[in-house]
Amino acid sequence: MTILWFLFKEGFKGLIRSKYSGAFSIIIIAISIMLVGFGYVIARDTLFMVENIRAQFDVDIFIKQTASRDDIAAFDAKLKKMNEINHLIYISPEEAAQKFKNEFGEDIFDILDYNPLPPSFTISFKPIYRNLISVEAIANILQSDPVVDELKYRKNFLIILEKYHRIILFTVLGIFAVLTLISIILTSNSIKMTIFARQDIISTMKLIGATNRFIKIPFVIEGTLEGGLGSLVAALIIYGMFYLQNTYFQSFFDYTAIVSYRFYIALLILGTFLGWIGSRRAIRKFLH
Amino acid sequence: MISFINANCTFRKNAGVKNLNFSIDDGEFVFLTGPSGAGKSTILRLIYMDLFPEKGKVLIRDFDSTRIRDREIPFLRRKVGMIFQDYQLLKDRNVYQNIALALYASHYKTREIKSRVYSILNQVGLGHRVHHRPMELSGGEQQRVAIARALVKEPIVLLADEPTGNLDPRVSIELINLLNKINKKGTAVIVATHNYSLIQRVPGARLIQINEGEIISIT
């Protein structure tokens, strides 16, 4: 117990003894964790935005004017059974006429004396089917139904979206990975510098017969504390910045930062883990 | 207790020791003398196994330089006390903490650490300096703290590498007298020095003269 208590105390005291190098290390870790935190939120919201655009994609199915009510009801039932469809709306000729009036400001009956607008369905797909291959396959099946007159969807929109979705996905994930890597390197190096500044302790401890474990434990505790404190600072800064954004700049940037408490806990765990692993790696270099 | 058997060790260009053969018994006082770069420090480093001979071997009690594992070296160093010209004290800790560290490293209990530290500090005449930091002490006092740290774990041998190098003649004599006193209590002492005037202060001490890594004479 004496030894364990001594090593823990040494770890805590080490943080105080290291003064500037310890404080510098905490700042560097805080910056690194902020990079990862902001990187994550940017990546998440960008992908969410792209997914939202994809969710707006829909297909209009125009029904033949000759189709009876029973035919339409049967087709409606068929659509509802399709697993790929997320949402569907039936638009009757009357509703279509009303929509026309709302959009163009003129009554279709005043122009043509009759309603030429056919009944139609607007369908949207479940997320995994919002791609060109799936949509084309489903469109072909629906097109072959005898009640269907015409199918309309923005094929080019889908092609462009797919192309850019892939670019955005890889770019965002790439940036996130690079930021994480930078934070690991920064954290590890800043802890290494803290230990480097106190090499005399390591050489003295070796001379007096301390085992590698005895030398290592206080430095690992110190590094873990630095990681924990650095990530706590980062979490507080991020929280403060998001609070300011959501309170004062929300309308200016048209953006609301929404993160749960789990995000902050994850940052604390990440920082503490990086401190732990970074100090273990750094001390190993000085021991051998 | 300590045996060098055909030990050769070179760790830099032309520096090191060649074909060393000698033994040191329990409780002996030995001076290693010779000019700078003769190999005195190398011999000490071979004893506390900071260096290993490329040929031959060094035996310290049951520890054999050819067989010892990395993880066993700390256990050897707990039996070997060391002091240096630059004291090697930790500046961010006080006298008590510097000495206690050696005992914590050897897994002593807090109560025993306390009694041993105060006892050794009284022996070296620094009982009143317990809470001072190294920078608040004179060179002679710092060296005595280093001696206390080396002795507190009751080593079988105390190695001193140019212990008086940074001290004035009066303090140097005081220090060598202290080492002599320690030796009289049974701890072997090996002092590497090129200060010949100190040798005369310890009548009966063995003298090993070295030059260019070779033993010139043992008297």
Domain end among A109, A126, A153? A153
Residues in B closer than 8 angstroms to A206, CB to CB, are 74, 77
Say yes or no: A12 and A149 in one domain.
no
Tell me whether 0.90 is exceeded by the ipTM: no
- The domain made up of B26-41+79-218 is a member of CATH 3.30.300.30: no
At residue B58, the pLDDT reads 94
Say yes or no: A282 and A214 in one domain.
yes
Say yes or no: A47 and A168 in one domain.
yes
At residue A106, the pLDDT reads 79
Strand-pair category, B63-64 with B55-60: antiparallel
- In order of A269, B7, B81, the CA distances from A262 in angstroms are 10, 63, 53
Q: Do A200 and B88 touch (CB under 8 A)?
A: yes
Domain end among A125, A153, A181? A153
Cα A6 from chain centre: 43
Tell me the two tokens of residue A129: 């089917």
Nearest-by-Cβ selection for A210 from B74, B82, B113:
B74
Q: Where are the alpha helices (DSSP H) in chain A?
A: 2-17, 19-55, 69-81, 93-104, 108-112, 132-143, 155-196, 199-207, 212-244, 250-253, 261-287
Alpha-carbon distance of B120 to B102, in angstroms, equals 13
Residue A192 per-residue DSSP state: H
Say yes or no: A46 and A172 in one domain.
yes
In this model, does residue B211 exceed pLDDT 80? yes
Q: Do A3 and B101 touch (CB under 8 A)?
A: no
Alpha-carbon distance of B124 to B105, in angstroms, equals 22
Domain that holds residue A8: 2-52+162-287
The mean predicted confidence, pLDDT, of chain A is 87
Say yes or no: A91 and A135 in one domain.
yes
Question: Residues B89-105: pLDDT tens digits?
Answer: 998 899 999 999 999 99
Of A122, A128, A127, the residue nearest A154 (C-alpha): A122
CB pairs under 8 A between A and B: 54
In this model, does residue B14 exceed pLDDT 70? no
Domain end among A153, A181, A211? A153
Low-confidence residues of chain A, pLDDT below 70?
Answer: 1
Nearest-by-Cβ selection for A209 from B90, B91, B105:
B105
Does residue B14 or residue B52 have the better pLDDT?
A: B52
* Residues in a beta bridge with B84: B161
Q: What is the 3-state secondary structure (H, E, C) of B169-186?
A: HHHHHHHHHHHHHHHHCC
Does residue A97 contact residue A114 with C-beta atoms inside 8 Å? no
Say yes or no: A11 and A31 in one domain.
yes
Number of domains chain A contains? 2
Domains of chain B, residue spans:
26-41+79-218
Say yes or no: A14 and A89 in one domain.
no
Say yes or no: A168 and A237 in one domain.
yes
CATH code, domain carrying A64: 3.30.70.3040
Q: Do B74 and A209 touch (CB under 8 A)?
A: yes
Distance from CA of A192 to the nearest CA of B (A): 19
Residues in A closer than 8 angstroms to B105, CB to CB, are 205, 208-211, 214
Of B61, B36, B47, B64, the residue nearest B9 (C-alpha): B47
At residue B12, the pLDDT reads 65
Say yes or no: A43 and A166 in one domain.
yes
Say yes or no: A283 and A178 in one domain.
yes
Question: Residues B40-86: pLDDT tens digits?
Answer: 999 999 999 999 999 999 999 989 999 999 899 999 999 999 998 88
A159: CB partners within 8 A, 6+ apart:
A132
Say yes or no: A166 and A251 in one domain.
yes
Q: Do B153 and A208 touch (CB under 8 A)?
A: yes
Question: Residues B114-164: pLDDT tens digits?
Answer: 999 999 999 888 889 999 999 999 988 998 899 999 989 989 999 999 888
At residue B133, the pLDDT reads 95
Residue B52 per-residue DSSP state: -
At residue A1, the pLDDT reads 67
Helix (H, G, I), strand (E, B) or coil at A257: coil
Alpha-carbon distance of A54 to A158, in angstroms, equals 8
In this model, does residue B13 exceed pLDDT 70? no
Q: Hey, of B90, B92, B111, B156, which one would you mutate to test binding to chain A, going by the most A CBs within 10 A of its CB?
A: B92
